[in-house]
A and B are shown apart, each in its own frame.
Chain A
Amino acid sequence: MAARIWIFSVAVALFLSFSSGHDLQIVNAERRIDLSSHIVNAFLTLKVENIGKDPAADMLLAFPPTQIKHLSMVQAMAITGKKKKKTYLPLDVKPTEQPDAPNDTGYFLVSFATPLTPGETVTLEVLYILTHSLEPFPSEIAQSESQLVYYRDSAVILSPYHIKQQTTFFKTPSARVESFTSVDPANRAGKEIKYGPYEDRAPYSYAPVIVHFENNSPFAVVEELVREIEISHWGSLQITENYRLTHGGARHKGVFSRVDYQSRRSISGSSSFNALLAVLPPKVNSVYYRDNIGNISTSHLRTGFKKSELEFEPRYPLFGGWRATFIIGYRVPLEDYLFEAPDGRRYLNFTFGCPLVETIVNKLTIKVVLPEGSKDPSAVLPFTVNQDLQVKYSYLDIVGRTVVVLQKDNVVPTHNVPFQVYYTFKPIYMLAEPFMLVSAFFFVFVASLAYVHIDLNIVKK
């Protein structure tokens, strides 16, 4: 079957290779796919050569349609220098459309730092991260069973370019591999499955493979995370995070026995998890961990100079398909995060993403609540997100606070990079609320003064 697909793809490729903009070829490609957690990290090392006549400014990365949905992030770097003097130069990667993409293939466009002159080669490192790509099979397991998953990919790299030589490695979390599709030469050694090396594959070659292996790492998926960052110019930043967590692995089937779970921990509930770790900023204070029915008492906080770690447990261990919701809130001092830009505007510099380690966030919403009276908000991020503006009324507000809403789907820990929100703010607005309170009390006292001194009786007593 694989052979037939090859023939097909070769035909398509022949047609395409003439229409593609540049004549590039990949001299050597190595792909290492890390399957040890539920976030699939793929490292691609490509040695690209310009075999055309014109300089090439960019190149395409192709992904099959099944992966493009789950693709969380693509990063590319150019490597210059050798061995110890290697320097990495981040390159610009943008999703792009190709008019004649075969079978809904998705593309990313990598722009070289300097256009590739004919005959020149460059080495690229590409990292791409896939989420929700491990399919549990069997899809329902009992408490004592361990979790097996499928991973589907191609033995050869999908690419619009000719690849001279390529190898693919799959790294599984344990040596227990039920099966893997054999595409010669393919072999397994311990935790590693090696496909290749394959020589001279035409553009759009594809060889589907399935790896069936054991993966008991915590499949912690946050279905929805709303982080609210409230800026108070009185000196603190209040962060409130609303989590809706689920276990994204094989669904739990039948009985949950506490006695098994407590006494035979090694064989019982091996795919479940009950401890989570959140990495919070340093100098964090007033941390709370609760849900909508009250405080949850199982958490430990370790504060440090570089980061704080909040180790916590949901109310109950999470088995496949079980859900839990909780809220984490904390406060950090303002001076570490709010700065004044040279043009007089202020900006908040904070970390995007989800503080939980090794967690996928299906839908992340970050709300930055600016102080009342702020104007001209704008957000600066290294990747595209949906942006929106809202108004929120908090304590004693009259005009309301501007809220910058940033929304992004499919977020992984690699997205935890700083972002900035710029706005203008006059400090005089800080005094509005104290002034209101003072005047309210003043009027109460004046009114009572007047009441005491006015005789409201109709008849003189």
Chain B
Amino acid sequence: MATLESPPPGTSSSAMRNAFGTVLSALILLLIGVLAFSIRLFSVIKYESVIHEFDPYFNYRVTQFLSKNGIYEFWNWFDDRTWYPLGRVIGGTVYPGLTLTAGTIWWALNAINIPLSVETVCVFTAPVFSAFASWATYLLTKEVKGSGAGLAAAALLAMVPSYISRSVAGSYDNEAVAIFALIFTFYLYIKTLNTGSLFYATLNAIAYFYMVCSWGGYTFIINLIPMHVLLCIVTGRYSPRLYIAYAPLVVLGTLLAALVPVVGFNAVLTSEHFASFLVFIIIHVVALVYYIKGILSPKMFKVAVTLVVSIGLVVCLIVVAVLVALVASSPTGGWSGRSLSLLDPTYASKYIPIIASVSEHQPPTWPSYFMDINVLAFLVPAGIIACFSPLSDASSFVVLYIVMSVYFSGVMVRLMLVLAPAACIMSGIALSQAFDVFTASIKYQLGRSANSKDDVKRSSKKGKKKEREPADKPSVKSKIAKKRALVLPLEASIVALLLLIMLGAFYVIHCVWAAAEAYSAPSIVLTSQSRDGLHVFDDFRESYAWLSHNTDVDDKVASWWDYGYQTTAMANRTVIVDNNTWNNTHIATVGTAMSSPEKAAWEIFNSLDVKYVLVVFGGLIGYPSDDINKFLWMVRIGGGVFPHIKEADYLRDGNYRIDSEATPTMLNCLMYKLSYYRFVETDGKGYDRVRRTEIGKKNFKLTHFEEVFTSHHWMVRIYKLKPQKNRIRGRAKKLKLKTSSGLDSKAAKKNPWI
């Protein structure tokens, strides 16, 4: 499979070298796979083999269901344990690629009597697929610039921090398999483009299908490939190979994509897919033109062109009009909110607070580029230049890929993930070319100095420049290489090589650090290092375990949506809202309840049949991402649907505060009360370690809720709704008459339902 790109003229010794190269690169690839897998195991070693964060818990739960009930039950699964009382059709609303993959692996392992648990399979799916992804990167880069670049790119991708952040062991999320699918689809596209083989074109459509199954990011493929096709056509690079690579993908790919329930008719109805159809038409027109040009004489052809262009313009106008009408008739112009915020980064924060409230939908900052792709950011320009010498169909594709992904990553931090493979490919090309030049010139110089001591002082200044920017080299080199081999001074080459190796070492160190320290925390268990050893804060699981064992199995638990997936997966209790934020009104209802005073909140929750309310509170130990810090989003989202909740009521002069300066609305809302109930008794002052202030209202009683559980470090507090008391009409009236003067307020406090 892995052959060196340019085998030397065929003799038996070169065949041996060729075979040796094949075995060597296979071995290197194997090691890269092992590296990709093992660098992601820090989370298991440092913490434990456990599912991470929020969404992976949902995927894990779906996989459990799949492995228990089979595929048909899975397609028809209506989940009544979430979004109470609406429920959610899981089979029709998830991208099933990940769960089907893990489910298949689990089933296959159990079929040969390797009884791994579903959890274990889920935890290790992501590392296994990152090994696959680095192999796919090798294949893709090899198609672009040869095996050397392929190996370098694969090694870089195996440990790029951006990808590690989404694929450490336990991070069981769609991206884990989708990045592999993305790269592999691109590889098959390039392979088809290079070979013109219909076999690869079919495989490409199947790979695309797997991508559609796995991740909503498939729209990136179905827009990027048409753009590349268009680019090829515009630059006069149309060929039958391009047609083979593109037309079957659109037809087969769209048909296959429509098979996935969550996509369905969206594959032909939404704007994200229109670009591919437009280019599909264009490529046919172009193909027709080339065909006609072949059979007509140049004069006839000119006539035909004028005729076709005039008719074509009319047809195009009609088509465009229809398209515009179609698009305009759908409420968001046929674009989903997340895609719209891609094109207009300010869209979400302006119109959809629920999208804006997710931190991974925010634009990234500069440090996050350095954190996530590190030295690759500097190597990428060199790689781009290398791709232009010479420019081929394949290299123009990767250039387009990197340009687009840089733009998208600038919009949404989550899409950094799409940039990472492109950056790795580019850097792999750059590194490989640089190494080629340096090693070749060292070889040449050594050979020459052995023959005769010739002078090779080709401006030592230039050599120094190369030291500083070794990545720039390959571009210059390969251009001149056509005329004659670029030869650099011996010293300069050696120093530049050493610098490049240092750069690589720096990258490796950074990646290992990122994998070990930054990205392996499972976020459901927190640790802190103090003088007397490691402190573990396992409050989330403590309270989920409490819920699952000590409440009735059909009780409903209300919490902010962040904790919905975890509650259903770990506590097995019905939740009102969860991380699949499909129903804004429902989330707004919970947000409104949290922002309302106690009695109004009780009424909202009671109408939703809620038994327990769960809040996350970090004030005691200083855990910053707690519900009080998220509270303004609840107010905003609640206020977006229920106008009586006004953000201004919770702010004092535009500042969000919970100390004695806070507004009475803030101090009386449910979230404040549930978070700080009896908090003052812990230290006598009520000092909140997150907000670094004493709380505003210290001693208060709850009338409609009672505390039933608080975790060890107070991070999770669970309250139960008090049952409604019996209403005795006559007595109530009498009581009112009696106590109308002095005792009124006291009586009202005692029995709030009278």
Contact = CB atoms under 8 A, between A and B. Distances in A.
A331 B709 CA distance: 36
A101 B681 CA distance: 62
A294 B709 contact: no
B50 A294 contact: yes
A293 B544 contact: yes
B710 A256 contact: yes
Given A259-B710, A293-B544, 5 more contacts: A256-B710, A257-B678, A258-B711, A297-B525, A396-B113
A123 interface: no
Contacts of B541: 293-294, 315
10 contacts: A255-B707, A263-B682, A290-B48, A294-B48, A294-B525, A295-B48, A296-B538, A316-B709, A316-B712, A323-B550
Interface string B595-615: 000000000000000000000
A394 B545 CA distance: 29
B65 interface: no
Contacts of A393: 113, 115
Most buried by B among A254, A291, A297: A297
A394 B708 CA distance: 43
A396 B545 contact: no
B549 A325 contact: yes
Interface string B666-700: 00000000000010011000000000000000000
Interface in B530-554: 536, 538, 541-546, 549-550
Nearest to B543: A316
A394 B550 contact: no
Given A393-B113, A395-B115, A316 B707 contact: no
A259 B112 contact: no
A396 B114 contact: yes
Contacts of B536: 297
B706 interface: yes
A77 B123 CA distance: 56
Interface in B442-498: none
Contact of A259 (B50, B545, B678, B711): B678
Interface string B505-528: 000000000000000000011000
Contacts of A398: 113
B525 A259 contact: no
A258 B709 CA distance: 7
A397 interface: yes
A435 to B, nearest CB: 15
B708 A395 contact: no
B706 A297 contact: no
A256 B708 contact: yes
A297 B538 contact: yes
Interface in B78-104: none
B538 A291 contact: no
Per CB-CB distance, the 9 closest pairs between chain A and chain B, nearest first, are A258-B710, A323-B549, A294-B50, A295-B48, A297-B536, A315-B542, A315-B545, A293-B570, A393-B113
A312 interface: no
A394 B538 contact: no
B113 A255 contact: no
A322 B708 CA distance: 12
Contact of A315 (B48, B546, B678, B714): B546
A355 B477 CA distance: 73
Contact of B710 (A257, A291, A294): A257
**B interface, over-half SS:** mixed
Interface in A248-290: 254-259, 263, 290
B538 A315 contact: yes
B232 to A, nearest CB: 28
A291 B571 CA distance: 12
Contact of A316 (B525, B711, B714): B711
Interface string A375-405: 0000000000000000001111110000000
Chain A contact patch, size range: 20 to 34
A207 interface: no
A127 to B, nearest CB: 35
A313 to B, nearest CB: 10
Given A294-B50, A322-B550, A395-B114, A316 B545 contact: yes
Contacts of A316: 542-543, 545-546, 709, 711-712
Given A255-B706, A258-B711, A316-B545, A397 B113 contact: yes
A59 to B, nearest CB: 47
Interface in B684-735: 706-712, 714
Interface of A: 254-259, 263, 290-291, 293-297, 315-316, 321-325, 393-398
Nearest to A322: B550
A245 B544 CA distance: 16
B3 to A, nearest CB: 12
A258 B708 contact: no
A394 B682 CA distance: 51
A294 to B, nearest CB: 4
A397 B546 CA distance: 38
A112 B712 CA distance: 56
Given A322-B549, A396-B112, A397-B113, A263 B706 contact: no
A263 B570 CA distance: 29
A370 to B, nearest CB: 16
Most buried by A among B112, B536, B544: B112
Contact of B681 (A256, A259, A322, A397): A259
A257 B115 contact: no
Nearest to A295: B48
A248 B27 CA distance: 60
Contacts of B525: 294, 297
A222 to B, nearest CB: 14
Contacts of B538: 296-297, 315
Nearest to B534: A297
B545 A324 contact: yes
Nearest to B119: A292
Interface in B122-174: none
A293 B114 contact: no
Contacts of B570: 293
A262 to B, nearest CB: 8
A321 B551 CA distance: 11
A255 B708 contact: yes
A293 B545 contact: yes
A258 B707 CA distance: 9
Contacts of B549: 322-325
A134 to B, nearest CB: 22
Contacts of B708: 255-256
B458 to A, nearest CB: 45
Nearest to A274: B712
A287 to B, nearest CB: 14
A255 B701 CA distance: 13
Contacts of A323: 549-550
Contacts of A259: 678, 681-682, 710
A166 B110 CA distance: 64
B50 A295 contact: yes
A296 B539 CA distance: 11
Contacts of A255: 706-708
A395 B113 CA distance: 5
Contacts of A315: 538, 541-542, 545-546
A411 B735 CA distance: 57
B545 A291 contact: yes
Contacts of A258: 707, 709-712, 714
Nearest to A264: B681
Contacts of B709: 256, 258, 316
Contacts of B712: 258, 316
Given A294-B525, A297-B536, A316-B542, A257 B707 contact: yes
Contacts of B550: 321-323
A252 to B, nearest CB: 9
A297 B522 CA distance: 15
